[in-house]
Structure formats: C-alpha cells, structure tokens
Structure 1
C-alpha cells in the first residue's frame, strides 16, 4: 500500500448525498487526497427518487456539491436507479483506487434483506478500497424517503381519475368475460393489464400501487362466491389474491422503472445533442465573440434560463434570454471581476454575493481566464446533473477561445518573425547594393578632384554621366525603400484623382535610367485623352520600376513598348520588351519581395527585388491588378489596370 501512495497514482472518490453529515465525509476524503497527493473526485448518482426530493434536501445536496468543489473535487453526476453499480462503473472507468462513503449511506443488512450498498460495492469493485466513515448523524441522514414520494397534488388527482376510469373499464370487461363463461384467470389478466395501463399513463407511484390493491378487492367483490362481499368460499382464492397483487405490483414497478429510464435517456439524448451541436458550431467559430454567442444560446436551450457572458474585462459580450423579465436589473461587473480574479464561481447559492439572482462561473483554460458566464437561478436552483453539463459546455467554450487566442498569437508571432526577416534581408541587400554605386560615385569624384585637368572633355562627360546615373539609381532605390516602409506601417495614403494617362507616362520617362538611351522606347496610346483614377505620384513610380526593370534585364538594342488602352471599365497599361523573357517557373514569384530571379542584369549591378513587389502593392491599393505574360516571339509583358476616370463638368 505504501508503494501505491508513493507512485502518486491514487484517485479518491467521495460519494455525495443530501445527508447533513455529507460535509464530514467530503472533508475526510479531501484530507486523504491532500495527504497522498491523489486526484480527487466527487460523484452524485441521480436516481428516479431524486425528482421527488424535498426542497430542503435539494438545497442541502447543492450545498454539499459546492463544498466538494471548494475542497478541490471534480464534480461528476451519473444517472441510474442502481447506485452501487453506477459507483462501481465510474470507479472502474476512472481508475478510482479508494471510495469514501458514510455509514448513513451504507445502511444495515436486515435478516433475509437485500445486500447493503457496501456489500454490493465490494462485489462489483473488489480491487477498490472502500472507506466507511463513522457518522453520529446516521438517524438524521436517512432522510424522509418513504414508499410514496410526494407528488404534485394536481398530478395526483389526475392520476387517481385515470386509475378509477381504467378500473371501471376493467370491471366492465371482466363482467362481459364472466357472462361469456371465461375463467377467472382471464378476468385476472384484464385487471393486471389495467394496472399496467395505469402505470404507463400516470406519473404517481401511489396510483398504480392503490390500483393493484383495489383490483384484487374489486375482483374478490364482483367475481368470487359469495358475490358482492369480500369473502371467498374457495380455499385457493387467498393464494390467487396474493399472486394477483404481487404480479400487479411487479408489473407496475417495472413499468415505472422503464418510464423513468426512458425519460432519463430522452433527457440525456437531448442534452447530448445540444452539446454536440454546440461543439460543432464552436469548432466553426471564427472569433471569440462567436464562440461566446454559441455557448450562450445552447446553455439557454439546455437550461431554459437566461444566460449572459462577460469577457475578461468584465464587460458584457453577449446574452441569450428566455424571459426578459429575468434579465439583470443591476450591474454585475463587481461579481464578474471577483469570479475572474479568483477563478471561482459566485452568486446565487454559493455563499459569495449570494443575494444575486444569477450564478457566475469562470471561463478558464490552463489558469488563463477569458471571462465568465452568468446563469439565472432565482428560486429554482440548477440541479447537479445540469450543473455538470454546464461545466462541460463552459470547458468546451474555454478550449475553443483558448485555441483562437493562441492561433492569433501564433499569427502575430509569425508576422513579427516575417517582418524581422524582411528587415534583415533588406539591411543585408542594402549593404551590398549601396556599396557599388557609392564606390563608383566616390571613385569618379576622386578622379575628377585629383586628375581633373588630365582628362579631356569627352572623358569628363562620361564620368559625369556615370555619377549622375548612379545617383539616379540610388534615388530610385531610396524611393522604393520609403514606399515599402509606408506600406508596412500602413501610412501610404492613396489620393485618387482623375489624370491623363499620357501625362503620367511622359513624367515617368523623364526619370528613367540614362542607359535607356541605348534601348528604343515606344509609347502607343489608343486614345490621347485616356483618363484614369490614380495617385499620379505612385503610378509614376510603378512605371519607373517597370521601365527600369525592362532596361536592366534586356540587351542594349532591345525594343521597349508602353501601351495604354481602354479595357471595359478599366484602363490597361502594358510595358513589354523583346528580351529573353521570364521562365514559367519564376512568374509566380516575380512579385514577391526580395525575389531577384536568375536572370543577370545587363550592367552587372545587383537588384534587391523590391521594385515589382512595390508595383503590385500600389496597383492593388488602387483597386487594379498587375500580371505578367510572354511577349511574342520573345520577351515579357507587364500589364496593370486602373479604374477608368471621368471629368466632372460643373456648370
């Protein structure tokens, strides 16, 4: 036994009941769990008799359940009429090593009586240690259970009326059978059938028990000699009466059990369906608010009570009401903050803010609190079975919200990592690409300063052009870097105005690389008055990048063509060349940031791969798109579209 404790694999189960002494049993089990560092669970078996439990017993049961929760127990509710079997099955499935029960729950074995709860548990769970706690309140703890649980008076009257009608009908049918010469056995069968019908159609055990006795008396009064008396001449009749009564009671009791089990099965099936539907919808939810709303709606369906959900800031997120008159009339944020901060439930029936008409439960996962659920209680406490389902539903909600929050956190982390990688790539690329033109500018300027008089005019002009060309390249690079920075920070403002496409193309041609003089650039416009909605400054930058790209990657004698035309409700602008083109496997990546491909630049200068990516971002921001296709017979065509513009004439 010492080895088992040392392994910390113990799981202690305490049985819950409405007995006043149950708190003592819970305390003992909790102390054992702490001493042996064991898992701790508390089980309540909901039997058919639970439906007729006195209000005082119900309140005491709820208090015991709450006390077990405070002691750190995991609350579990099972349904069934065989309490020992339910306890043993749960112990087997959950790996329970010790069961703690009170003597008042065990009962005493009477002479020729049925086995006690402890004897049944020992036979059903022989490998589990059963600890019986002495109880001085045993007499009180037995409660008020009698043969007849107290039904509602209206249901009792209805049941008695049905019973009277069925007995009358059975007697009339028995009289008919008697006239037709049927035997007493047939008439007895009719009365037993009547008891069966009464057990089916009435909700009170009293009705079918009284009917069982009454059917024997009526049969004796109407059909045994001497008739219309309660005497019987036949010596075998007393045995017949006893068997008839026993058969009626057995059939009535069996029918009552079947009805109860069917009702419990239907209720369990309905609740399972609601939980399954809720789980399916929660899995499809895209954000926390949707998860909370699904949870609130299904808890309302499950409990037929008002439900309110608050976030971690104690602000109301959503609600689902069955009755607006039960909606909260006061601010519950103080209670909700307490629930979230302490990770414990509070409100009606908990002893904390118990003047509230709502009970509040935390929505938490792995010590992370995401809010609280408020459920209307009023004067109708939530029973233990419903509460266990509520806890499961809230647990599913917490898991879903935790998953969404973690996914968003992972997404944010991935974005930060990507941005960090982009910055690293950018700095690495800039450090290489700035060095070449700056070295060229510095070297040429140094030559002019040191040996300027030694150069002829043609050489000086060539040096000036090289310095100017390198400075233009640097200016274009800086413009692209600034634009990328504005895009990343969301500071790029698009000021759309209606502009002439021809003017924008002409402006772009003024800023392109000087080496473009070696290529032939042609502009073809379908209409000289083509108008488009654009931010002219940004579209000029797009054209500069596309033209500079064509110049860098094509031989010096290449043909570059700029074509502008109307295409439906868009303006299409193309920049084509007759160079070597772009391989098909590279076309899907040419607009990716920092992608430079495998083509070599004509002047051997490296590219950092920002231009085309920036073009795509700018065109998308204008509501257009940019594509790449092959030119015929060879080369590449970059085409982008812009919304068509119209000139407003004000009279």
Structure 2
C-alpha cells in the first residue's frame, strides 16, 4: 500500500474540525429496543458530565422508556398547525442556540411537518452536526432508500419514509440493536410495543415470523457492511493491503417503470462489492411521453441521493455507447434491466441485454428481471402524438402513388417500388420512426393494390410477386428506421452542441469580465434569453439583507428568505425541488468560492411550466464558470486593495521621513538662535542680534511654507480647496512671489521679463501666487551660487504663461513627468537639501484646478530647467463692457 493511501486513511480518522459525531442505533423493526438503548447510553454520558439534551424522543407510551426519558433534560417541542391538526416537531433553532454537547434525536427517517425548514429529520441532524453538536439517533433498516423495493417485496408494504444510505454510511458509530423474532412477537402480544388492538393488527399485517427474520437479516447485513468499511479503514491506517476498489459499476437506466428499482439494486450491489457507481442514460433522440420523462428524472434524483454519479450521453446505438463508456471509465460491472421482448427485438437480434452479452468483452453483465408486480395502467398521451408527422406519411404515400401511376407506362414494375421507397425515406428524415413505418405499411398496401396483378385488389396472382412485396416491405422498414435513427442522432448532436455552446458562450463572456459588475452583466446578458425561466442573482448587502444584482425583481416572502438564508449559510442548494424548505417557487443555488458563497443564483419556472432535470443540470454546469468568474473578480479586487494599501503605506513612510527632515532643520536653526539670544543677551552686539532674529524669521517662514504645502496637498486630495476668483494683474502675482522669496533668491541673479500690457487673469490670486512661489523656490534650490534665474510672462495661443528658467543640473527626459508626483525629489545640485517633493505636485493641483497645465523644458542656454505655468485667458472685463 502507498504512503499516500495510508496518510489519507489516517487523516480520515482525525476529528473533523468543528463537526459533531453521529452515533446510530440500528434495529430490524419497531420494538427491538433502539430508543431504550439510546436513552441508556445517554444516562451514561450524563453521569460522565456531558451536557446533553433530548431533542425529540418517541416513547410510544412504553413505561420503561418514559422512566428513562424523565431523568434527562429535554428541549420543548415546537407546535405547528397543519390543516386543523396540531403537530409537534423538534425545535432545531432552540437546540442550535443552546448548543449542548450531545442531542438525542429519535426516528432518523421521520418526515417533518409541512412548512418546516427541512423536509426530513436527517437533514436537521446534518445541521446539528455541522454546528459541532454530537447526535445519538435511531432508525429501522426498512427505512433505507436502497432497500425500499426489497422490503416491499418481503413484507408487501411500501415504506414511505426513506433515508439516503450515505447518511448511515457517514455515521461515526453504528450499533445494531438485535432481538430474536420470537421475543419481539412476545413483546407485541404483551402490549409492550403497541396497544393490544394495534399489536394484533401489526402481527397480522407486518410482524410475521418470516418478515421479522428477513428484516433481521437485512439489518445484520447493513451492520456487517459498516464493520467491513471500518475494518478496511483500519488496514489502510496500518499500511497493509486493504480491499481495493475494483473498477466501477454502471447501471443503464431508461424511463421505464423499473428505473427506480434498478437504481436501488445497483446501490446495494455497489455497497457489497465496494464499488463506485454511476447511473448512465443514453438519449437516442426517441420521443418520450411526460410519464417516461418523469420516471427518468426521479431515477436520476434517487441515484444522486444514494451517492451515485449521474451521466447523460447522447448517441444512436445504446448498447455500443454503454460498452464504450464502460471502457472509458474502466468499469467492471454493467447492470441493466430486462427489456420487453417485442417482436421486432426478436427479429433484429434481441433486446439491450442480448446485444451487450454479444458485443461486450471482459465486462460483467448483470440483468435484473422485470418486476412481478403489475405495472400501473398507462394512459395514452395524446399530446405526445405528433399528428403532423403521421399526416405527412399519408400525404407522402398519396403523392408517391400519383407519381408512380404517372410513370407506370414507361418504367417496369420493379422500378416503381423505388418511388415508394423514396417517400418512406423522406418521411423518415423529416419525422421519426413511427411515421416512417406507417408510410412503409401504406406504401406496401398501395403498391399491392395499384400495381401488382390483379390490379385494384389486395389479392396476389403470381407467387413471385409475394416475394417482391415482402422484400419491398423489408426494405421500406429498414430504410425508414435508418433515416429516423440518423435524424435522432442529428437531434442529439444538436442538443449537445447547444449545451456546449451555452457553456462556451458564457465562459467567453466571463473571461473578458474584470470585476464583479462586469461578471454579473455578462451573466445577465447570457441568461436573459431563457424565456421559460425567471432568473436572478442575489447577494448580501452591508446590513446583511438581500439585494438583487441582476435578473427579475424579487419580493422576498418569509419562505423564500428562509431558503435563501439557509443556502447561503450552509453552502447547499435549497428551495423548490430540494429537501430544504421546498415550498417556495424559487430554487437557490449557491455560487461558492474557497471561503464561502459569493452569491445566490435564483431560478423559478414561469407560471404553468416546470423546472426539468435537464434544465437544472445545465444551470448547475453554468453556475461553475460563473462562480469561478466571481471568485476571480473578488481576488482581483483584493489584490488591488492590497496594492493600494502597500502604496499608501509607502507614501506614509516617505511623508514621515521627508517631513521629519524638513521640519527638523528649520526648528533646529530657530532653536539655536533663540538659545544664543537667551544665553548671551545684551552681550551680543546689536547687529549680530538683528542677524539672529532675521535668520529665525526666515526659518519660521520656511517652516510655514512646508506646513502650508502639506495643508494644501491635503485639501487638494479631499476636494476641499475652493476657488475664490477675482481679476488680477500677472505683474502683481510675479512681484508678490519674488517679494516673499527675497531671502531665498538673494544669492542668485534674478532677471524678470513681465510686460505691463499683459491681459488680466480671472483666478484665485493666492493659489496662483503660491504655485509660482513653489516653482521659484524649487529653481533656487537646484541653481548654483550666483547662478542666473529668469522669470518671464507672456501670452501664447489664448493662454497666459509664467516661465521660470534656471542654470541647475537639469532634468532628464524620462524623469520630467515624474517631478509632479508626490514625494518625488531630485537632489542633484540642490543647495538646500532634499524637500518633501510636494511643491511641484501642489503646483500641478492648483494650476489644474484653474483649467491650466504645466510643462517642463530645457533651461537657460540649454542648461538647467524651465518650468512654465499655462493659464487660460477669459474674456477681459473691459472688452465685455464694450460689447
């Protein structure tokens, strides 16, 4: 045995995180003592300090059972009214809220009252287990779904309350409560199981000696299968040879009356042989009535409940397709039902089983005989008859007869039959097998009546004409059958192509979607063409309520809201057609990612229509790429959020580093000057004191500019900077900016060129001045000592510009666009040290707020940098008055 197999076996035995354990007390029949044994085990747990609650326990009036129950804490039952009758059911929500360590739940296969959250009690238990609560429960063997028909054959009673076998197989512990048949009958006669009147009726109808022995054997076989599984698991944990899965079981199912019986038998065989199994249906295009489609759908749903895989194939030849599929899946056993031996099957090689036995190689074929019980009467489905096709057969025969009569004088008799064969072929291609056979029969009779001597009579005069007519009938039947088969195969291929196209089309649309809204729009555009269904996609909003993201407007009723909530919380389908809250008109399918649902797909058939199994499977297939696309969009959003968070952290770090440096430098200089004045006082000459105070003032102004830049950048980023526009002269803006930077520009040779005749600007003067101050300060920092600095203004293309050119190191072409980014600095030639890198970013924000722009070019005589501010020129106030 491989190490990976042993590891899987060991991991399977580890406690499942957050999930409770299930212990089942199994019995052969009522009265064997399952509930009594469960209560005894509960008292043992109670003495060990386990916090437990009896959720629901049926004592059936037995004194010993009631005495044991009275010593245990109990959860009150929920009373509901249904059609005037008060029904009591287990309080699931109360148990989930109390969250005890152990809950006692009797009668695992019980059907809940209509209107309950779940249709079956075993579904309630699954929810308790998912909440981390351990459960003790009881069940009788006749309630197992796979044994339903076998129990009916033994006892003659159809058990209505059934339990999927996988629930019992998933139990952590299975305890068989056995009682010999004679002792159970004595308990019945003594009134310890039912009251005397009920006991006598039960003995006569169900509790016979032979029935109890057969049920006891079934219970032991079920317990033995569970023990075999535990034993095999133990061997695998030891790394020793364990019973290996040998192949696969395939069960071929059609829409006949024994479909469900065949599925149950396949489940039992698969359990005994430890084989995975699949239900396979071959759609050969044959027309089916509504009853046949319903039986097939029920069989497929039953197979899913029993843990089997449902496979739908489309082909013309059923036997050949089954053999090919068995080879592809490496199946070792093929199970089919016995076909009805109609005359044409006897004539053309027998039924499906005979063809499988004749063509299969190395494959075990099992054939289940037909049920001995009489089948229910089958009502003819008038709607299933396509009268147009049969009318086409009659018309084709008449037209062929007229054409044959017209050419009878020029063609020999054998060639005339080809005209009728052409009519049969035409009908077979355009319709199905039934109309083509009708056309063949009518053509046979017409050919005999009109053309075989003696004419206008069905009598045959010559013996060789009998053989001619028989060959004609045979060829007509074969031709019609072949044409109809080819048409069915073509239709099956069209259906397959339609489903594949649906998946491909949706996948293509979803591939181009980059965010959740695009995914939802693509899904809505794809599904809006389904006229037989109402579809919607819902999601949780910030308050935990439901919002419809696309599809039909939805008014949530209480049942719909409960079904949607349950599907979201448990990541399982709920609503119409499921076992959970099935009384609404919507079917909810969760679209899930790795961390839970990303949305719910709601499906509801139009009034008067039904949601077919084929439609449901197609929606399930389409939901997979839709869920993947939603998960991909969520991942992209999370990655973008992570990227933005990283950039924000990087900007915060850069801001703190820059601010800490640029604020600390002027503060240190100011503190040094103030300490000198305080320490030396009058001892410092007047001129030196004045110089210290002026230096302190300059550093304070520098500090004020840093803080103002930070505040302006914050206001720009939050949209809080308001423009108080007014008419202002460009020369006044330049003069004020140069005055504010007089000390900074003192070491440089500043040249200004601002014509007096420049037009006025309608701007926020303080902001434009601050922008020009930032550009001038940036140029001064990067200019060499005694370097030139040219400041000019002018008009170009209905725009007024302010240009500042220096003789600094310049800015490379590839970096000129970056200097307007926040925190980007260039330290080459910077006499003042590094800044925050906010000055030019603020300039761009201020100028851009006025509808202007900033450009970067070479500086004086090709050296340094020239930064130009462009502002739009409005209509001048004087010109406006003249107009």
Output the TM-score relative to the length of structure 2.
0.62
CA deviation string 1:113-145 (max 9, x = no partner): 44745974996685xx87969688587899979
SS of the residue 1:600 aligns to: coil
Distance in 2 between residues matched to 1:76 and 1:550, nearest whole Å: 77
Tell me: CA distance 1:484–1:114, structure 2 relative to 1, closer, same or farther (3 Å): farther
SS of the residue 2:282 aligns to: strand
Matches within 5 A, 1:247-266: 247-266=475-494
Tell me: CA distance 1:614–1:121, structure 2 relative to 1, closer, same or farther (3 Å): farther
Which residue pairs with 2:33 in the alignment?
none
Counterpart of 1:543 (choices 772, 785, 788) is: 772
Counterpart of 2:291 (choices 40, 52, 56) is: 56
- Kept in 2, the 8 Å contact 1:483–1:492? The answer is no
Q: Tell me by how many angstroms 1:621 deviates.
A: 4.4
Matches within 5 A, 1:362-511: 362-377=590-605, 378-487=607-716, 490=718, 492-500=720-728, 502=730, 503-511=732-740
Distance in 2 between residues matched to 1:135 and 1:487, nearest whole Å: 85
- Kept in 2, the 8 Å contact 1:335–1:353? The answer is yes
- Kept in 2, the 8 Å contact 1:102–1:135? The answer is no
Q: Tell me by how many angstroms 1:417 deviates.
A: 0.6
Q: Tell me by how many angstroms 1:629 deviates.
A: 1.1
Q: Which moved more, 1:422-431 or 1:187-196?
A: 422-431
**Is 2:254 the counterpart of 1:24?**
no
Distance in 1 between residues matched to 2:806 and 2:310, nearest whole Å: 75
Which residue pairs with 1:80 in the alignment?
315
Q: CA RMSD in A?
A: 4.1
Tell me: CA distance 1:160–1:348, structure 2 relative to 1, closer, same or farther (3 Å): same
SS of the residue 1:256 aligns to: helix
Which residue pairs with 2:283 in the alignment?
46
SS of the residue 1:338 aligns to: helix
Distance in 2 between residues matched to 1:513 and 1:99, nearest whole Å: 97
- Kept in 2, the 8 Å contact 1:532–1:646? The answer is no
Q: Tell me by how many angstroms 1:249 deviates.
A: 1.1
Tell me: CA distance 1:382–1:566, structure 2 relative to 1, closer, same or farther (3 Å): farther
Matched length: 626
Which residue pairs with 2:427 in the alignment?
198
Q: Tell me by how many angstroms 1:255 deviates.
A: 1.0
Distance in 2 between residues matched to 1:118 and 1:478, nearest whole Å: 94
CA deviation string 1:22-44 (max 9, x = no partner): 552685599699x88x7x86654
Distance in 2 between residues matched to 1:610 and 1:311, nearest whole Å: 43
Q: Tell me by how many angstroms 1:620 deviates.
A: 3.7
Q: Tell me by how many angstroms 1:638 deviates.
A: 1.4
Tell me: CA distance 1:163–1:59, structure 2 relative to 1, closer, same or farther (3 Å): closer
Matches within 5 A, 1:189-228: 189-201=418-430, 203-228=431-456
CA deviation string 1:288-328 (max 9, x = no partner): 233223323322425643322222343112226xxxxxx86
- Kept in 2, the 8 Å contact 1:521–1:559? The answer is yes
Matches within 5 A, 1:123-202: 137=371, 152=383, 155-156=386-387, 158-180=388-410, 182-201=411-430
Distance in 2 between residues matched to 1:328 and 1:591, nearest whole Å: 50
Distance in 2 between residues matched to 1:4 and 1:184, nearest whole Å: 77
Distance in 2 between residues matched to 1:32 and 1:396, nearest whole Å: 37
- Kept in 1, the 8 Å contact 2:250–2:335? The answer is no
Matches within 5 A, 1:546-557: 546-557=775-786
Distance in 2 between residues matched to 1:103 and 1:41, nearest whole Å: 12
Q: What are the ranges of 5 or more consecutive residues in structure 2 without an aligned counterpart?
A: 9-243
**Is 2:468 the counterpart of 1:240?**
yes
Counterpart of 2:549 (choices 307, 313, 317) is: 317
Counterpart of 1:558 (choices 787, 810, 814) is: 787
Distance in 2 between residues matched to 1:596 and 1:121, nearest whole Å: 85
Distance in 1 between residues matched to 2:849 and 2:309, nearest whole Å: 55
- Kept in 2, the 8 Å contact 1:347–1:357? The answer is yes
Q: Tell me by how many angstroms 1:412 deviates.
A: 0.9
SS of the residue 2:572 aligns to: coil
Q: Tell me by how many angstroms 1:193 deviates.
A: 1.0
Distance in 2 between residues matched to 1:30 and 1:496, nearest whole Å: 84
Distance in 2 between residues matched to 1:386 and 1:352, nearest whole Å: 20
SS of the residue 1:370 aligns to: strand
- Kept in 2, the 8 Å contact 1:498–1:647? The answer is no
Distance in 2 between residues matched to 1:626 and 1:5, nearest whole Å: 69
Q: Which moved more, 1:80-89 or 1:104-113?
A: 104-113
Distance in 2 between residues matched to 1:29 and 1:628, nearest whole Å: 84
- Kept in 1, the 8 Å contact 2:744–2:777? The answer is no
Q: Which moved more, 1:608-617 or 1:522-531?
A: 522-531
- Kept in 2, the 8 Å contact 1:347–1:359? The answer is yes
Distance in 1 between residues matched to 2:656 and 2:789, nearest whole Å: 32
Q: Which moved more, 1:506-515 or 1:436-445?
A: 506-515
Output the TM-score relative to the length of structure 1.
0.82
Q: Tell me by how many angstroms 1:511 deviates.
A: 3.4
Q: What are the ranges of 5 or more consecutive residues in structure 1 without an aligned counterpart?
A: 321-326
- Kept in 1, the 8 Å contact 2:591–2:627? The answer is yes
Distance in 2 between residues matched to 1:531 and 1:414, nearest whole Å: 42
- Kept in 2, the 8 Å contact 1:198–1:207? The answer is yes
Distance in 1 between residues matched to 2:494 and 2:436, nearest whole Å: 23
Tell me: CA distance 1:457–1:471, structure 2 relative to 1, closer, same or farther (3 Å): same
